[in-house]
Structure 1
Amino acid sequence: MNILIKPILTEKMNAQAEKFNRYGFIVDTRANKLQIRAAVEAQYGVVVEDVNTINVMGKFKSRFTKAGLLSGRANNFKKAIVTLKGGDSIDFYSNI
């Protein structure tokens, strides 16, 4: 199971990283906090202090078009906000 799917690279998460040393990731919905902690520490070589998870359930969406009513569901995903220890940091832009 690939636990870390992709990092969240937004202005809000960049501000969190600079100010509070927190980084966001989209993770597998079946992963727990211990697995997320181990995956981040193994992949980036940092020490994780805390992991907060948010399970975002797919919402039912519908809209009116010329063809009639279209409906469907959005994807389910899970976010993990990882707080690192004092001197550690992750540079997502180093390989660009």
Structure 2
Amino acid sequence: MAKKSEVAAKHYDVILSPHITEKSTMASENNAVVFRVANDATKPQIKEAVEAIYADQKAKVVSVNTIVTKGKTKRWRGKPYKRSDFKKAIVKLEEGTMIDITEQVS
């Protein structure tokens, strides 16, 4: 039993959260889901994590595309600071499968 929770923890370190925007909602019409992932995550790790986390929904990943979004330079009280860079993954699912990211993950 401890082995299973260890594997799940590894997957949750790769997939940080769903990235919900207007553009990602439109992509969901084409069987794509957008996730915010760890900066050092690879495409095979992302595929394995999505299939493991959403195994109860029988999610089958076809492809994974990644994007590194560079942090913007902003100013607060006259002093500049830089927002952190983050990585997004666009996960394309097999036809007929779907992930409901609004319900709780088990």
1:90 maps to what in 2? Answer: 99
- Answering whether residue 69 of structure 2 is matched by residue 56 of structure 1, we say yes
Q: Where does structure 1 lack aligned partners over 5 or more consecutive residues?
A: none
The reply to whether residue 75 of structure 1 matches residue 89 of structure 2 is no
**TM-score normalised per structure 1:** 0.84
Give the aligned residue type for 1:36: I
AA in 2 matched with 1:37:
K
**TM-score, L = length of structure 2:** 0.77
Q: How many residues align?
A: 90
Distance 1:58 1:11 in 2: 20
Give matches, 1:4-83, under 5 Å. 4-18=15-29, 20-45=30-55, 46-62=59-75, 65=77, 69-83=78-92
Unaligned runs of 5+ in 2: 1-9
Question: Could you tell me how far apart the structure 1 residues matched to 2:23 and 2:74 are?
Answer: 26
Output the amino acid matched with 2:87: K
Q: CA–CA distance in 1 between the matches of 2:73 and 2:25? A: 30
**Letter paired with 1:33:** K
Instruction: Give secondary structure in 1 for the equivalent of 2:96.
Output: coil
Cα distance in structure 1, aligned partners of 2:64 and 2:85: 19
